[in-house]
Structure 1
Amino acid sequence: MKRPSVYVKMRVLGAIDVAPGRTRHERIHQVAQMTFLDEQGDPHQFTWRTIQTWYYRYKNHGVTAMDGSPRADKGKPRKVTPEEVLEAINAALPHFHQSGSARTRTPTKTAIYRLCIEKGLLNPNQIARTTFCRFVREHELLKDHPSETRRRLAFSMQYANQLWQADTMFGPHIGGRQAKLIGLIDDASRVLCHGEFFFEENTDAMIKALRSAFYKRGVPEQLYVDNGSIYCSQEITLICARVGCVLRHTAVRDAAAKGKIERFFRRVRDQFLIRRLDLSSIETLNRQFTHWAEQDYNATVHSTLGMKPIDRFGVDLSRIQFLSPSEDTDELFYAEATRSVKKDNTFSFRGQRYETPIDLRGRKITLRYERHRKGAVIVYEKDRRIGRARLLDAVANGMRRAARD
């Protein structure tokens, strides 16, 4: 049997959080009885000792310890992705053909790089000229029509929530700022799991869209995305691992691999954006888009399916794993940090001192928290939820101690 990929391993570890059992040891034994499908749909089952080994490797060394092969990015730049270089090239090339001549020769890689720097499309501190040229050569970023030489097979999942496709589309301008639509569509039913416009295309926006989609349509077995920075972030990888979702990435310059979400975006442009929309605020735009998506798109017969996407999604409703809305479930989407508890049972976080809910002196703990909000800080110890940390109140502690004496 072939070795499982890192995505399969992370999905196995994510199942530990939701498996039945009072202790982690019991939950691992429950996971050992489950069957997991890899990216090709082949089934795998693992012993509890193997799962336990993966668990400790992940807790001690992170995601990189789950893959025994050499680094995939060895010798490659880690500041700019191939997708970002391709976007810069596509924005720069029209400036070389403004003369209108169809026979204009393709500019050199160095000339394109210089124009990208002049126009602010790339930052010289992020990518040097030699690195840029190597990127163009290795990924064939200037090759015309790469999809014509790539063998491609049409595919469709058998059941709803086996695979979602996600991508970003540039939308209208509101108050001088361009809105971007993050959309997630189910492969089998074509139902729009969630779509929302944001001003910023960043990790925070992706987490918000992903959380809304999981609550509305359940947790998919696989999430298919490109190599954009928000889809490769550590936070998104961690969230998918927690809920047991395999995060898959397309090849560079292979937008056609996500054909269903691309066709949906075309429908958004042809049927939604052509309307007389109220663009007074992004909240108003999102209300109009949600109404169109639920009342028109999801509730209209799809030409390929022969039925409404929402009805096709409902056919497999019994197979779908939903997240129960609760405060504990929200923690699946929190960021993580590790701390060591001091001898007085306190730790420092974000410039403040906290007390742990129980005595954890001298131990290492994991904190879950909202990235850009001063809310609750949740303490985990060896994957076990301990509870909320309390802000240290030394005066109150002193008064309680005096009362006891």
Structure 2
Amino acid sequence: MNNSKKDDLDTKIALFRYELIIPVLNRTYPDRSALQYFKRIASAPLKYPDGTSKEYSFQTIRYWYDTYQKEGFSGLMPKTRNDKGRSRKLNKTLKNKIIEMKQTNPRMTATSIYLKLIEDGNILKKDISLSTITRFIASKPEFNHIPVEDMRAFEMEHTNDMWQLDTTYCSYIKDSRGHKLRTYLIMIIDDHSRMIVGYGFFLEDNAVNVQTVLKRAISKYGVPKRLYADNGKPYKNEQLPIICAQLQIQIIHAQVYHGNSKGKIERSFKSVKEQWMYNTDFDQFKNTEDIDSAFALYVNKKNNSPHASLNGNTPVNVFMDDESSIRRVEPERLEKIFYHTATRKVANDATIRLNTKVFETKQEYIGSRITIKYKPDLSEVYIFDDDSYIKISEVKKVDNSKIKRKRPLFSKEDDQ
């Protein structure tokens, strides 16, 4: 495995560990205690980022929790890595037997099936483990489908317990040449209070715009424990999980094709269109900033109007009545958390490439792989080294050609 792929896998492993411990970090686990949660999670095989199944003791998962508490997300990055996985195999007769038992009684658990197989003499406990049965059942999608009718309406108990995030198509505006441009509204609501906590109109529905709205919302209203979003690319990409892991946010993705699971945000969009968009002349807007300004008046009125599902109370009042649940982040730290992250190998001329641009680093980094933190528009780019941010600048080819630069006698590659 080359270094680039290893860096990518290491990040995925850290996110895998984070997703296991975030319910304990945010106290959202359904179990009676954190210990019971750790034991339940450790009772079945887990799908590792490389596609294999692995088993962990509850002590290991609890160790990751303790490490995150002390070191943050970076502490979850693997020190060593082992790609080798083992799997115990069931013969065809046993597989068919398990399938038959599950089809006869769909509510039969893996543990029940395992004990029944032992009781009937089909297997010996020393030969086949419970995790083997669990892994086989988990590999069969038909046994893990949740019918739409089983999905229940839910509501969070506290402010910022969960935010719902989504995008909707909106009306067109015209550019300076009269060409029609589709606009998109990215919006976030607080599940508990129904309050609109974030919004923005854009000409593209992409990851960077989603992150822009999320950052604004967090800056103003604090950090949510959970973020409930769609499965589309703007919400399911490599940068958003890293951002959320640093903020101690659990990302929950809606089930594919189950739009009813996003009922509150969908109803909010319906209200936006019926109460505001269909009554607004979009020809008056020259850009998305103009739309944002006009929409802000609607949001203020909506958030301060009585809501039927809130027993006639207003979203703002419900949100602020639970102010003790709001967790704030220092502006400077929040800004850095929303930087994008990448790894690059420094070339022999002490430069790196990021997107289509070239940036100059220090001679001491030649031949090394370094972590880069940057604003999505590349207006600010930093080397992230030992928890320090070292700003670097884009190489200006014309200016750079006039400077005589010393070439190092040896690069790290030459010296190996």
TM-score (norm 1): 0.62
Rounded Cα–Cα distance in structure 2 between residues aligned with 1:379 and 1:13: 29
Rounded Cα–Cα distance in structure 2 between residues aligned with 1:318 and 1:56: 29
Distance of aligned partners of 1:313 and 1:55 in 2 relative to their CA distance in 1, 3 Å threshold: same
Q: Matched residue of 1:173: which SS?
A: strand
Write the deviation string for residues 263-284 of structure 1: whole angstroms up to 9, x where unpaired.
Answer: 1111112211232435322222
Q: Matched residue of 2:278: which SS?
A: coil
The answer to whether residue 13 in structure 2 is matched with residue 9 in structure 1 is: no
Rounded Cα–Cα distance in structure 1 between residues aligned with 2:150 and 2:238: 31
Shift of 1:286: 1.5
Write the deviation string for residues 138-167 of structure 1: whole angstroms up to 9, x where unpaired.
Answer: 99xxxxxx9995223221111111101111
Residue 339 of structure 1 contacts residue 364 of structure 1 at CA under 8 Å; is this kept in 2? yes
- State the partner residue of 1:364: 369
Shift of 1:314: 0.8
Residue 14 of structure 2 contacts residue 77 of structure 2 at CA under 8 Å; is this kept in 1? no
- State the partner residue of 1:193: 197
Write the deviation string for residues 171-212 of structure 1: whole angstroms up to 9, x where unpaired.
Answer: 111122221111110000111011112111111221211121
Residue 347 of structure 2 contacts residue 366 of structure 2 at CA under 8 Å; is this kept in 1? yes
1:318 alignment partner, one of 321, 324, 333: 324
The answer to whether residue 299 in structure 2 is matched with residue 293 in structure 1 is: yes
Q: Which amino acid aligns with 1:267?
A: S
Give 1:149-228 correspondences, 5 Å limit: 150-175=149-174, 176-228=180-232
Q: Matched residue of 1:274: which SS?
A: helix
The answer to whether residue 393 in structure 2 is matched with residue 385 in structure 1 is: no
Q: Matched residue of 2:383: which SS?
A: strand
- State the partner residue of 1:270: 274
Rounded Cα–Cα distance in structure 2 between residues aligned with 1:231 and 1:39: 23
The answer to whether residue 260 in structure 2 is matched with residue 251 in structure 1 is: no
Aligned length: 293
Rounded Cα–Cα distance in structure 1 between residues aligned with 2:191 and 2:304: 16
1:336 alignment partner, one of 318, 337, 341: 341
TM-score (norm 2): 0.60
- Stretches of 4+ aligned residues off by more than 4 angstroms: 5-8, 11-15, 38-43, 52-57, 59-62, 146-149, 341-344, 358-363, 390-398
Q: Matched residue of 1:270: which SS?
A: helix
Shift of 1:48: 5.7
Residue 335 of structure 1 contacts residue 369 of structure 1 at CA under 8 Å; is this kept in 2? yes
Distance of aligned partners of 1:181 and 1:147 in 2 relative to their CA distance in 1, 3 Å threshold: farther
Unaligned runs of 5+ in 1: 16-33, 71-137, 140-145, 399-405
Residue 14 of structure 1 contacts residue 242 of structure 1 at CA under 8 Å; is this kept in 2? no
Distance of aligned partners of 1:374 and 1:48 in 2 relative to their CA distance in 1, 3 Å threshold: closer
Write the deviation string for residues 14-47 of structure 1: whole angstroms up to 9, x where unpaired.
Answer: 99xxxxxxxxxxxxxxxxxx84435657764723
Residue 354 of structure 1 contacts residue 391 of structure 1 at CA under 8 Å; is this kept in 2? yes
Rounded Cα–Cα distance in structure 2 between residues aligned with 1:235 and 1:8: 14
Rounded Cα–Cα distance in structure 1 between residues aligned with 2:207 and 2:25: 31
Distance of aligned partners of 1:361 and 1:148 in 2 relative to their CA distance in 1, 3 Å threshold: closer
Q: Matched residue of 2:308: which SS?
A: coil
Larger radius of gyration: 2
Write the deviation string for residues 105-129 of structure 1: whole angstroms up to 9, x where unpaired.
Answer: xxxxxxxxxxxxxxxxxxxxxxxxx
Shift of 1:49: 8.5
Shift of 1:250: 1.2
Distance of aligned partners of 1:60 and 1:292 in 2 relative to their CA distance in 1, 3 Å threshold: farther
Q: Larger deviation: 181-190 or 169-178?
A: 169-178
Rounded Cα–Cα distance in structure 1 between residues aligned with 2:31 and 2:275: 35
- State the partner residue of 1:116: none
Q: Larger deviation: 183-192 or 316-325?
A: 316-325
User: What is the identity percentage for the equivalent residue pairs of Structure 1 and Structure 2?
Assistant: 25
Shift of 1:341: 4.6
Rounded Cα–Cα distance in structure 2 between residues aligned with 1:240 and 1:165: 14
Residue 13 of structure 1 contacts residue 244 of structure 1 at CA under 8 Å; is this kept in 2? no
CA RMSD across the alignment: 3.9
Q: Matched residue of 1:301: which SS?
A: coil
Residue 380 of structure 2 contacts residue 391 of structure 2 at CA under 8 Å; is this kept in 1? yes
Write the deviation string for residues 230-278 of structure 1: whole angstroms up to 9, x where unpaired.
Answer: 1111122222122111111111111111111111111112211232435
Q: Which amino acid aligns with 1:387?
A: I
